Structure 1
């Protein structure tokens, strides 16, 4: 099973060129499940829908953070900047969990789907520079809505690094960071994008970054994606590509 998480950077320019790079880079790693953050919808554009079509995957959209935003042509359009799960298998459940907000950063959500007997969680925590306590509270709130015994994959942009309060709360709750041994940052100088599992026995895990380098001079996003190739099983080994 191949799982990819990627913050797609809203509609930041050059949006259409970036979207083509995102689609090409994602297609090269052939994911079965994709977790998208900052998935833009507006002005006739839909990041998740375009990527789902390019990858041949179903799209579960969770629009959020609605407001007018400038478009690439200079016009303004009503838009959302939310989450999306793309999946090769049909989901038997899909729900959205509102996370504790902040007046300067409202409308944060988590997205949860049930796919092939596995809980899949897509998460984007607050970006506030002094938001460590809020990010931890957002994680703790999410955990209250998850079955601790259910096989679970969780991924997304935590806006926090290893050892910070939010990832630490997930570790305390039994989640395993699949790329714990990877030193490369997913944004300049930091690793803030994670893939984690809980109650999911794995025989092997390989992780690597996706889209870290521009294609044709265009970067797909201001984040690199994180890909995990996991093999279910009883024993667990990790390799870093």
Structure 2
């Protein structure tokens, strides 16, 4: 990435209607996945260190409640900033810790109830707020960068449940529901951001319902679309070192 790009606050490249359609659909797919769990499934370990399925769902609920309420968002941010570690790690740990006493059924019921409100609140975020810089700065590929609140709301808050849905599917040994109309659009946005961050020619072919082809010149790469995204998030085994945030 050039220094000019690195210094510019990151904004969403998705149009609002598309971003909000992806948000609503992703919430619905997580609800459907959680509804299909057997009681014993909630204790299954995931690829996220120290998180089983229940802890992952607790984090997802915390993020949805954060998106649904400005007051709750400010409360969580203040509480996480009061902890000694890296902000995003402390925020997600806070979300899990605060819901440690909830039953799996309670987490599911609350998630199903709050996510429509989260989607509505994200859609209603006014333009002047979406242009505000998010604090603190985020570290991606070893560099600090600034995000706008619009990038957080339109992009990251949908990539996060999508990636964790892949974690849950892998942990449970079930297929991840994928369609070109939803997952393909999300993956396309990830690939385009990856090209920008990579800064050199490459041709990529991603397989599966969310896949496609991008770029020309340079090395030719082929991966499963979900595994490609998992590698960019720091998961998986694909040999890709340039990160994209999820």
- Whether the TM-score (by the shorter chain) exceeds 0.5 is no
Larger radius of gyration: 2
Given the two structures, how large is their TM-score scaled by the length of structure 2? 0.29
TM-score by length of 1: 0.30
Question: Which structure dedicates a bigger proportion of its chain to strand?
Answer: 1
More helix by share: 2
